[in-house]
Amino acid sequence: MEPAPAAVNPPPAAAADPSSGAGSSPGVSRELLERLSVALHRTNQDYLDGLMRQASGLPKDAQDNIKIELEKELNKVVDQQLQACIGDVEEGEAIDEDAKPLSAAFRRVIDTQADAEANQASITKFCRLLAGSKAVRGGLEPMAQMMVTFVTSRVASDDAGD
């Protein structure tokens, strides 16, 4: 069963009518949210598949359980990072790309939504930056290694007891 993509909710100011003066973000279209959601889901699945290669020698049910736990954690971290980006964009200030590369990339996603080709490129870049971020890699990779090591030792222990 394939999990649902991480939810992407527009920030209140971004969802507001831009002509009303509420917030400084341009309106965020439903189409943009759908494209971003699909791209995040695809990127997350690719990242999880890469993490799961280290578990390839484990029993299928163990692999499934590890993947479920990693996916929960990945969705949590992605949501936290996305909320931080939304907050930075809502502030309306210029975003320093060196200090906040994810937020700057997210700003480009919003700014390019009128140009489908440029927008898809900015979405792809944002998703890759997010998957490669310290928050994602630093949280998920050690967790995956620990889980695989634990399950491997349990399987070896169970095999020795037979």
What does each C-alpha distance from 40 to 8, 70, 71, 73, 107 come to in angstroms?
A: 9, 15, 13, 14, 16
Q: Which residues lie below 8 Å from residue 125, measured CB to CB, with a gap of 6+?
A: 105, 108
Give residue 160's pLDDT.
Answer: 63
What is the average pLDDT value for the chain, to the nearest integer? 84
Cα–Cα nearest to 74, from 50, 100, 53, 48: 48
Q: Please name the residue ranges forming H helices in the chain.
A: 12-15, 30-52, 60-90, 101-111, 116-131, 134-161
Whether the pLDDT of residue 96 is over 60: the answer is yes
Give residue 27's pLDDT.
Answer: 66
Query: What is the Rg, in whole angstroms, of the alpha carbon atoms belonging to the chain?
Result: 19
Q: What is the pTM of this model?
A: 0.78
Whether the pLDDT of residue 2 is over 70: the answer is no
Q: Which residues lie below 8 Å from residue 40, measured CB to CB, with a gap of 6+?
A: 5, 6, 8, 78, 127, 130
Give residue 97's pLDDT.
Answer: 92
Average pLDDT over residues 31-54: 95
Element (H, E) at 125: helix 116-131
pLDDT in tens, 115-152: 999 999 999 999 999 999 999 999 999 999 999 999 98
> Which is more confidently placed, 2 or 32?
32
Q: Burial-class residue 159 by CB neighbours within 10 Å (0-12, 13-18, 19+).
A: exposed
Give residue 155's pLDDT.
Answer: 80
Q: Burial-class residue 125 by CB neighbours within 10 Å (0-12, 13-18, 19+).
A: middle
Q: Are 26 and 110 in contact (CB under 8 A)?
A: yes
Cα–Cα nearest to 11, from 99, 109, 117, 153: 109
Q: How far apart are CA 84 and CA 124, in angstroms?
A: 18
> Which is more confidently placed, 154 or 143?
143
Give residue 21's pLDDT.
Answer: 34
